[in-house]
Amino acid sequence: MNGPNQIAGQATVPAAARIDAIVIGRNEGTRLEACLASLRGKTRRIIYVDSGSTDDSPAMARTAGAIVVALDLSQPFTAARARNAGLAALPDGCADFVQMIDGDCTVAAGWLDQAASFLDSRPQAALVCGRRRERFPQASIYNLLCDWEWNTPVGPARACGGDALIRLDAIKGIGGYRDDVIAAEDDEMCQRLRAAGWQLWRIDAEMTGHDAAIRRFGQWWRRAVRAGHGFAEVGALHPGYFAAERRRVLLWGAVLPVVVLAGLLVWPPLAVGVLALYALSLARMALRLGKHGMPFLQALRAAGLITLSKFPNLQGVLIRGYRRLHGRAATIIEYK
């Protein structure tokens, strides 16, 4: 049996010689500079796909030694399109694995070697992800929530986020990403990998640091709208996926508010009872966050946002439905 990073009949090959990186971004500025610096010397090549930046991101990437690909401005931007453009830019005879990473992230030291070794040891694994951390969790309650959201269970996974080391044959075998999916495109791609018989894994290792840069309520709201759009869009393509999320959105964001209004008009105690359910849900979430080490006041604020998120989630579901009904192309929902 060959060891990690070893090809039959050959000497051990360094991970850096077997991995290409695809970075996507738009107006990331110093965040992109840090991202490229974290990859320098650790991959065979870096492809940077720029989605219409108005800053000096493309020039910065070229200076850092990346191959720059500019998306066609005549078509709507999506992260999926950007990732596919990066895959298309990889030359023939390229590396075994590709590290997908967003331009506002940095790669942790040792991640690429550990991830490549993991994929070598599990031929049925198409991708592996680790712990993505928010770099500035105390900058805002919204950043803190992002960090909590990314602390997913270790072991076999149903999906990954935008950062992952992927087996190149696997991602190309399913045709890459779907260009028209504007939110949760990584979840959608992962479901097709699973349907093709591949395994997905989350390991206990530091992977990337992320700068969410969410400082305002409006940014958080738009991010939650985008999540709701993803629940509906990917759920329509893969009905069993995001099913629980869609049920929660409909129950807490639509059904119960209607019951509250009906109760106020017909029987006020009913409205009070439903509002008590919201309070109970908030309290349970705050306790859950507290058990994970979040201070009480932060946990209470975070739980309030999670409870409130069902409303922008519902907005995203409705936006997706309206666009489908009227035959309108989906456009990205940005929060930065």
CA dist., res. 209 & res. 232, Å (int): 28
Give the rounded distance of the alpha carbon of 92 from its chain centre: 28
**Whether the Cβ atoms of residue 289 and residue 302 lie closer than 8 Å to each other:** yes
Give me the mean pLDDT over the 10-26 stretch.
83
Q: What ranges do the domains of the chain cover?
A: 15-213, 235-325
Question: Token digits for 314?
Answer: 């519902």
| Digit-coded pLDDT (tens) for 161-191 | 999 999 999 999 999 999 999 999 999 999 9
In this predicted model, which residue has the larger pLDDT, 150 or 13? 150
What residues contact 318, with CB distance under 8 A and at least 6 apart? none
Give the rounded distance of the alpha carbon of 96 from its chain centre: 23
Which SS3 state, helix, strand or coil, does residue 200 take? strand
**Whether the Cβ atoms of residue 23 and residue 102 lie closer than 8 Å to each other:** yes
DSSP 72: P
* Best CA proximity match to 142, nearest among 26, 314, 309, 319: 309
Say what the pLDDT of residue 292 is.
85
Q: Is the pLDDT of residue 15 over 90?
A: no
Say what the pLDDT of residue 176 is.
98
| Digit-coded pLDDT (tens) for 291-302 | 988 999 999 999
| Digit-coded pLDDT (tens) for 310-333 | 999 999 999 999 999 999 888 889
* 8-to-1, 72, 128, 271 alpha-carbon distances in Å: 8, 41, 22, 68
The model's confidence at residue 276, banded by pLDDT at 50, 70 and 90, is: very high
Instruction: Read off the pTM.
Output: 0.92
User: Does CATH number 1.10.630.10 belong to domain 15-213?
Assistant: no
Say what the pLDDT of residue 8 is.
41
The model's confidence at residue 12, banded by pLDDT at 50, 70 and 90, is: low
CA dist., res. 273 & res. 254, Å (int): 16
Say what the pLDDT of residue 75 is.
85
Q: Is the pLDDT of residue 4 over 70?
A: no
CA dist., res. 248 & res. 266, Å (int): 25
| Digit-coded pLDDT (tens) for 56-114 | 999 999 999 999 999 987 888 899 999 999 999 998 767 899 999 999 999 999 999 99
**% of the chain residues with pLDDT over 90:** 88
Q: Is the pLDDT of residue 7 over 50?
A: no
Say what the pLDDT of residue 5 is.
45
SS3 content of the chain, % helix, strand, coil (to 5): 50, 15, 35
- Got the DSSP string for 13-51? --GGGTEEEEEEESS-THHHHHHHHHHTTTSSEEEEEES
The model's confidence at residue 3, banded by pLDDT at 50, 70 and 90, is: very low
Say what the pLDDT of residue 1 is.
32
Sign of torsion, CA 139 204 171 14? Answer: positive
**% of the chain residues with pLDDT over 70:** 96
CA dist., res. 196 & res. 125, Å (int): 11
Give me the mean pLDDT over the 48-63 stretch.
95
